[in-house]
Amino acid sequence: MPNLPKEQIDLYNRDGFIAPIDIYSREEAAELRQQLEGLEASHPESVTGRNRNNVHYVTTLFDKIAHNPDILDAVESLIGKGILVGGTTLFIKEPEQRGFISWHQDGRYIGLEPENWVTAWLALSDVTTENGCMYMWPGSHLEGAREHLDTYDEENLLTRGQTVQNVPENETIPIALKAGQLSLHQPWVVHGSGHNSSKSRRIGFAIQSYIGTNADSVYGKIFV
Ligand SMILES: O=C(O)CCC(=O)C(=O)O
């Protein structure tokens, strides 16, 4: 895939995200999902709980996805050449699983500056409003860092339940994706996702994040 066209880059700058971007065909995505589910069957502990964090170290399946040239081309359009994989996470919501991700900004807890980094989220199942797709608040990145309240809600899949308050939910946009499609979002865009109320799994693989080689941790300097 060539780099993203200017119109898409403009949309990213305006809204704080772009979706959908076609990466894998349906057949390829089904094959990747099958490999994941094969691993879950043969080595269940390897891709559950904390092992879902940096799962690209656990299996080459996810390392290959994180280094997919089409994804890297799209990312290069936004952050330039010299791209590092800062971390990855497998976000799975099981059928009818209660569990949501509260409104948050990745920039607030990943803590990297300067801001030439971007989170990529690849769907390995179809992702819909019913099974708990992400919602983005367009333009919310333009005001930079916002206060987050640690709510420690039991059903919140974020460790501290960190939450941006007073998000105008009627302005937020669902990011429905077909298996094999990608979304890209900016560090300061406010986003979250709801429960899976469907009878099928919602499977997403996030590269959190692709970072420019000049990005440095600001934890302990700006954020604590
Ligand atoms: O998978 C989800 O629902 C949320 C993921 C997320 O917040 C992220 O990738 O930044």
**How does residue 1 score in pLDDT terms, banded at 50, 70 and 90?**
low
Model pLDDT, residue 223: 54
Give the tens place of pLDDT for each residue, 109-145: 888 888 899 999 999 999 999 999 999 999 999 999 9
**Integer Cα distance of 83 and 134 in angstroms:** 25
Model pLDDT, residue 112: 86
- Quick one: how far is CA 22 from the chain centroid? 15
Cβ proximity of 124 and 39 under 8 Å: no
Give the rounded percent of residues in the chain with a pLDDT score beyond 90.
Answer: 87
In this structure, the residues whose C-beta lies within 6 A of any atom of ligand 1 are 91, 101, 106, 119, 121, 134, 191, 193, 204, 206, 208
**Tokens 């979250």 belong to which residue?**
192
**Integer Cα distance of 167 and 98 in angstroms:** 21
Contacts of 152 (CB under 8 A, 6+ apart): 160, 161
Contacts of 88 (CB under 8 A, 6+ apart): 53, 54, 55, 56, 62, 66, 205, 206, 207, 208
Model pLDDT, residue 222: 57
Strand, helix or coil at 2? coil
**What integer best gives the mean pLDDT of the chain?**
94
The whole-model pTM stands at: 0.96
Residue with CA closest to ligand 1 atom 10: 106
**Integer Cα distance of 152 and 126 in angstroms:** 29
Contacts of 118 (CB under 8 A, 6+ apart): 75, 78, 79, 184, 185, 186, 187, 209, 210
Model pLDDT, residue 111: 82
Model pLDDT, residue 176: 98
| Residue 63 scores a pLDDT above 70 | yes
Contacts of 37 (CB under 8 A, 6+ apart): none
Query: Fold for domain 6-213?
Result: Jelly Rolls (2.60.120)
Give the tens place of pLDDT for each residue, 3-60: 899 999 999 999 999 999 999 999 999 999 999 999 999 999 999 999 999 999 999 9
Cβ proximity of 58 and 46 under 8 Å: yes
Give the tens place of pLDDT for each residue, 135-187: 999 999 999 999 999 999 999 988 899 999 999 999 999 999 999 999 999 99
| Residue 84 scores a pLDDT above 90 | yes
Pocket test for ligand 1, best of 17, 55, 90, 91 (most atoms within 8 A of CB): 91
